[in-house]
Copies of this chain bind each other. A is one copy, B any other.
Amino acid sequence: MDNFNFYAPTYFAFGKGKEAETGKLVKRFGGTKVLIHYGGGSVVRSGLLDRVKKSLDEEKIAYVELGGVKPNPRSGLVYEGIDLCRAEKVDFILAVGGGSAIDSAKAIAAGVVYDGDFWDFYEGKPVTAALPIGTVLTIAAAGSEGSPDSVITKEEGMVKRGASGEAYRPKFSVLNPELTQTLPAYQTACGITDIIAHLYERYLTNSKDVQVTDRMIEALILAMVEEAPKVIENPNDYEARANIMWGGMMAHNNSCGVGRSQDWSSHNIEHELSAEYDCAHGAGLAVTMPAVFTYNMNHDVMRFAQIAVRVWGCQMDFAHPERTAKAGIEALRSFLISIGMPKNFEELGAKEEDIEKLAHMACYGSENATGTVYGFVNLSQSDVENIYRLML
């Protein structure tokens, strides 16, 4: 196990009706003038935004609003949010929504207290300062409610990149599973796929002797695989929603990823798909993961065999462990298809003729790019092209 530091000081208020505590939590963590940042229709239509405002009113906390966050959130709205916060002397950013609203809120929070262009953080500069952030989560997926991460798409060139830093951990997150019950099955499945990707990409490690985190990751994937069909069948299943919501946070707050190298190549290879075609991130991951894992399987057959046996219930083929490893990847693929995820480029709306361009962007698309997607296996542009071809 590698040395590490772990610090996850987010306060979680979990359960039915918990959004009524939002105002008290903003106050507890020092907010006096809030930017409420959200996407659009559903948060307004459901009455959630009004309930959040009411709880702020009750604590006599002032606020301004900025809606309009889109999936794969864009830099343009971030700049707008930064200007608004400065003009209005906002001292606390409250995201109401899913990973997109939260990630956009984080970018605004860092940008407000930074002299340069906020995009610097998405080109590799660590985030060391930001306004305090709170969240009211409406979809179990990104894990951004408990993570130090954010992903933004720059409109110029449609470059999708991540940033990280301790200042990005929310001060509090309200997790009410009821708020996710109105989500359509497709979005629900996209969220579950994202959660599973966060777990697999921690599982695929080159570190040795990481049994305790291996077991935790396997546990969380198992729970997702058990709960997912329940919510696809019955979106109102509160208990399954609750398990997925807490599991989604635990999957990405990194308590199960500490002390081990991680593999973010599926995320990085997928980001080019959602940036180019504006497909759902989870849908892109459903197509990307089996391809990446198949391509990389021989790097550590026993690791893939271990997850096949422990999570997917495959029988270990002791004479041919690679058969077990492959069976586990196929079980993952079948599971993702069973919850309604796309299985290939065509279903995703991606195009074969773009493969070279996509692979080039993945390897050379950012300012500090080196031509390699680093991870469990370090991948060149031609490797990434081969992986995209496995998705056809």
**CB within 8 Å of B: which residues of A?**
1-18, 177, 208-216, 218-220, 222-223, 226-227, 239-240, 242-244, 246-247, 250, 255, 258-259
Contact = CB atoms under 8 A, between A and B. Distances in A.
B247 A212 contact: yes
Contact of A5 (B6, B8, B14, B223): B14
Given A216-B216, A219-B215, A250-B216, A243 B15 contact: no
> Which 9 pairs, one residue from A and one from B, show the smallest C-beta to C-beta distance?
A3-B15, A9-B9, A209-B239, A219-B219, A215-B219, A212-B223, A1-B242, A212-B247, A212-B243
Contacts of A246: 1, 212-213, 258-259
B2 A11 contact: no
A259 B242 contact: yes
B239 A208 contact: yes
A227 B213 CA distance: 12
Nearest to A246: B212
B13 A5 contact: yes
A243 B210 CA distance: 7
Contacts of A13: 5
A219 B14 CA distance: 23
B215 A223 contact: yes
A216 B219 CA distance: 5
A180 to B, nearest CB: 13
A262 to B, nearest CB: 16
A212 B242 CA distance: 9
Given A209-B242, A216-B220, A250-B212, A259 B3 contact: no
19 contacts: A1-B15, A1-B177, A2-B15, A5-B12, A5-B13, A5-B14, A6-B14, A7-B9, A8-B9, A14-B258, A209-B240, A209-B242, A212-B243, A212-B247, A215-B220, A215-B223, A216-B216, A218-B219, A242-B259
B215 A222 contact: yes
Contacts of A255: 250, 255
Contacts of A227: 211-212
A2 B177 CA distance: 11
Given A213-B246, A243-B209, A15 B259 contact: yes
A243 B12 CA distance: 26
A177 B209 CA distance: 13
Given A3-B15, A9-B9, A210-B243, 16 more contacts: A3-B14, A3-B16, A4-B15, A7-B10, A8-B8, A8-B9, A14-B259, A211-B226, A212-B243, A212-B244, A212-B246, A215-B222, A215-B223, A216-B219, A219-B219, A246-B259
